[in-house]
Amino acid sequence: MKTKISRSKAKMKTHLIKPAMGDRRILSHLRKSTVVDLRMNISRPDPEASGNIAGSTGVRQILVKSAPAPGIGHPLGRKLMKRPSRDVPPAGRSAGLREASPDDGMEVALREARLAARKGEVPIGAVVVRDGVVLARGHNRPIGTTDPTAHAEVVAIRKAARKIGNYRLIGCDLYVTVEPCAMCLGAILQARIGRLIYGAADPKAGAVESIVRFPIDKTNHRLEIRSGIRAEECAAVLRDFFRKRRIE
């Protein structure tokens, strides 16, 4: 049997030429007597087959080459190689906020608070985090939006809900620089936020532990609360803002 070999820069392909009448009987016998192991890319004789054909080794090698194992050069092999492993995190992804420290989440909220101060709004910032990834951030905007409900927590919750397409923010953390008021705490419970982390207490409007203690234990949602995270820094942003306003 003859073979025609074409070479290219990427790989070498082996093609079978139409065999003569005498060679067809050999090929027919080889299909019955040869078991091709695609994984190892080798062929081995079937122990149940009888007889030995001289010169059949070369033909077997050609048959194996014409049916390569699903490796790099095979379409199935290329598809399997491109599929990412579920156990390995994407390359270049940094550690999440949850894994690092609550200070990191509060730092993002503080940036939002300073942004609100530059706009003339009361400097309170908030950020929604899930699995260490920031979903949304917000700051006080009632003056700019003429919306009395546009507190930092509500703004961030609305953005996060729109982003994930769900009004339930299950498994999310909310970082806010100041203790939430009753309205914002109610929104946090309605959104099913898993954990609330805030900095400074609000002695004039705080509904967690200041002017009123919201009866969270009587609701159908369990909210984990942490307070005092960078409290002095959060309070200093508020003091500086109102001091400048009094001077003006």
Which residues are part of the catalytic machinery? 153
Query: Which whole-number Å values give the CA distances from 167 to 2, 149, 160, 174, in the listed order?
Result: 70, 17, 9, 15
Pairing state of beta strands 3-7 and 12-16? antiparallel
Do the beta carbons of residue 151 and residue 173 sit within 8 Å?
A: no
Which SS3 state, helix, strand or coil, does residue 216 take? Answer: helix
Among 132, 3, 12, 127, which Cα is nearest to 62's? 3
Do the beta carbons of residue 202 and residue 181 sit within 8 Å?
A: yes
Among 124, 195, 187, which Cα is nearest to 161's? 187
Do the beta carbons of residue 125 and residue 137 sit within 8 Å?
A: yes
Dihedral, CA of residue 52, residue 54, residue 55 and residue 60, to nearest 10: -10
Question: How far is it between the farthest Cα atoms of the chain?
Answer: 107
| Cα(104)–Cα(99) distance, integer angstroms | 10
| Burial bucket for residue 152 (CB in 10 Å: 0-12, 13-18, 19+) | buried
